[in-house]
């Protein structure tokens, strides 16, 4: 079986790539090992409204669970930082529905889309893939693609088969969450928690309506016993436990997310990597749905027209946002690993940077001086930055 483009993985990146390549006139085969595309859900299901608008993607109503006006950061269980800027308004989606719809759009564009199909091996000639062995619902077939697009996740089988590594273990966040029913109405905002009890990562409440939410946490480099850690954190955090108890879990979800920072459009030979397999997320918060879809579109069009242009095209389309996310991630990791700071100082400083209340360079200068800003200084810094940020002490 010959094709112009073989897409491995049908998450947002793979479906975007398959659609764009097909629309550009390529003969596309897109496969996914899951029997049902979109399951199991392995993320918080939230996307930023401003990036969604830029993507041009129209979300179907049935894939929208809720809309949030702003994001609230609960820092060290003592500080409430709310960013009302447009970049922190969000939409929670039903990933099971969204991924299927995106895969269907790729098929409508002309791609051959196959669930329950697994890449078994690649026949390589140096860095060039000459053929791929694929299992289609139990039947092995040889595919001879001109270009392969690896959209197969943070633990990419294609990366392993080609001998490359774009996501090192220390730059992967391991997360777990419960979809839960709330005891009382939820506010119309996403809530992010930075505290010593979570560690090198953050917790979250991502609404899926006024009475339902994804509640979880993710840590960089930590694995094992995720369900127990999430349950203990929910029970022990006074803000989270005021909304939820662990008697109301309707789905358990786990998954990994890359946080390496922007690496452009990674490729080797005739293989282009996109989405989580290439670390194409907003690294400081791990948001990957819309970045993956947009990067997938670029990968697909590049594969169909000029594979060598992938990196240049991607930097022009997504370089600014993803590079900025990587810079914020580096600044936050630097604060978390600064042994001169107390735990409270680490999380307060990281929260001010992650919420974009204070620029990383301003916080770095304060840390170097060895002091925390007074409330008046903090207010002036935030006003100077032009952000729609409100900061107050949390009384719990």
Please tell me whether the peptide bond between 40 and the residue prior to it is cis, using omega within 30 degrees of 0.
Answer: yes
Burial status of residue 303 (CB atoms within 10 A of its CB: 0-12, 13-18, 19 or more) = buried
Query: Three-state SS for 219?
Result: strand
Strands of the sheet containing 90-93, edge to edge, are: 46-48, 90-93, 64-68
Inter-CA distances, 346 with 237, 308, 334, 374, 382, Å: 19, 42, 9, 16, 19
Return the pLDDT at 181: 97
For 371, the token pair is: 């002091």
Every domain of the chain and the residues it spans: 2-43+96-168+260-327
Return the pLDDT at 168: 82
| Interval 334-375: pLDDT, tens | 888 888 888 988 898 899 899 988 888 888 887 777 766 666
Inter-CA distances, 264 with 283, 298, 310, Å: 13, 11, 9
Could you tell me if 85 and 386 are in contact, meaning their C-beta atoms sit under 8 angstroms apart? no
Pairing of strands 201-207, 212-220: antiparallel
Average pLDDT value for residue range 42-47:
94
**pLDDT of 251 over the 70 cut:** yes
Could you tell me if 322 and 276 are in contact, meaning their C-beta atoms sit under 8 angstroms apart? no
Could you tell me if 64 and 289 are in contact, meaning their C-beta atoms sit under 8 angstroms apart? no
Task: Return d(Cα 3, Cα 1) in angstroms, integer.
Answer: 7
Could you tell me if 96 and 39 are in contact, meaning their C-beta atoms sit under 8 angstroms apart? yes
Q: Which of 1-10, 250-259, 373-382 shows the lowest per-residue confidence on average (mean pLDDT)? A: 373-382
- DSSP secondary structure code for residue 196 in this structure: T
pLDDT band for position 396 (cuts 50, 70, 90): low
Rounded to 5°, angle at Cα 133 from 298 and 255: 55
**pLDDT of 208 over the 60 cut:** yes
Question: What does the mean pLDDT of the chain come to?
Answer: 92
Q: Residue 122: how many CA atoms within 13 Å on its side-chain side? A: 25
Please tell me whether the overall predicted TM-score, pTM, comes out greater than 0.85 for this model.
yes
Domain 2-43+96-168+260-327 in CATH 3.50.50.60: yes
Q: Percent helix, strand, coil in the chain (nearest 5)?
A: 40, 30, 30
What is the enclosing helix (H) or strand (E) of 301?
Answer: helix 289-305
| Interval 53-112: pLDDT, tens | 999 999 999 999 999 999 999 999 999 999 999 999 999 999 999 999 999 999 999 999
The three state secondary structure string of 59-101 is CCHHHEEEEECEEEEEECCCEEEEECCHHHCEEEECHHHHHHH
Q: Which residues contact 372 (CB under 8 A, 6 or more apart)?
A: 345, 348, 366
């Amino acid at each position: 079986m010959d094709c112009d483009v073989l897409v491995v993985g049908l998450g947002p990146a793979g479906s975007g790539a398959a659609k764009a390549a097909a629309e550009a006139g390529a003969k596309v085969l897109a496969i996914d090992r899951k029997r049902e595309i979109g399951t199991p859900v392995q993320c918080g299901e939230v996307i930023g409204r401003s990036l969604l608008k830029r993507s041009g993607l129209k979300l179907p109503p049935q894939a929208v669970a809720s809309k949030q006006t702003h994001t609230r950061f609960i820092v060290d269980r003592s500080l409430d930082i709310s960013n009302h800027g447009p970049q922190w308004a969000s939409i929670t989606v039903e990933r099971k529905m969204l991924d299927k719809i995106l895969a269907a759009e790729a098929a409508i564009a002309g791609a051959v889309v196959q669930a329950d199909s697994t890449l078994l091996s690649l026949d390589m000639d140096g860095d060039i893939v000459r053929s791929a062995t694929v299992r289609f619902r139990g039947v092995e077939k040889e595919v001879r693609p001109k270009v392969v697009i690896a959209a197969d996740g943070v633990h990419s089988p294609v990366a392993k088969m080609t001998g490359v590594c774009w996501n090192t273990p220390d730059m992967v966040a391991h997360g777990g969450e419960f979809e839960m029913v709330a005891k009382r109405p939820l506010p119309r905002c996403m809530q992010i928690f930075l505290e010593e009890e979570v560690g090198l990562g953050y917790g979250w409440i991502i609404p899926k309506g006024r009475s339902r939410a994804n509640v979880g946490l993710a840590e960089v480099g930590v694995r094992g016993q995720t369900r127990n850690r999430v349950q203990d954190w929910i029970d022990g955090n006074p803000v989270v436990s005021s909304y939820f108890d662990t008697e109301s879990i309707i789905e358990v979800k786990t998954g990994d997310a890359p946080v390496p920072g922007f690496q452009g459009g990674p490729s080797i030979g005739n293989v282009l990597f996109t989405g989580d397999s290439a670390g194409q997320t907003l690294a400081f918060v791990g948001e990957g749905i819309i970045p993956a879809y947009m990067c997938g579109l670029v990968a697909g069009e590049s594969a169909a027209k000029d594979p060598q242009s992938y990196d240049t095209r991607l930097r022009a389309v997504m370089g600014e946002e993803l590079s900025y996310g990587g810079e914020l991630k580096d600044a936050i990791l630097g604060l978390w690993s600064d042994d001169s700071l107390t735990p409270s100082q680490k999380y307060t400083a990281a929260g001010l940077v992650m919420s974009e209340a204070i620029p990383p360079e301003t916080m770095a200068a304060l840390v170097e001086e060895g002091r925390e800003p007074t409330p008046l200084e903090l207010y002036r810094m935030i006003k100077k930055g032009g952000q729609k940020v409100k900061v107050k002490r949390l009384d719990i």
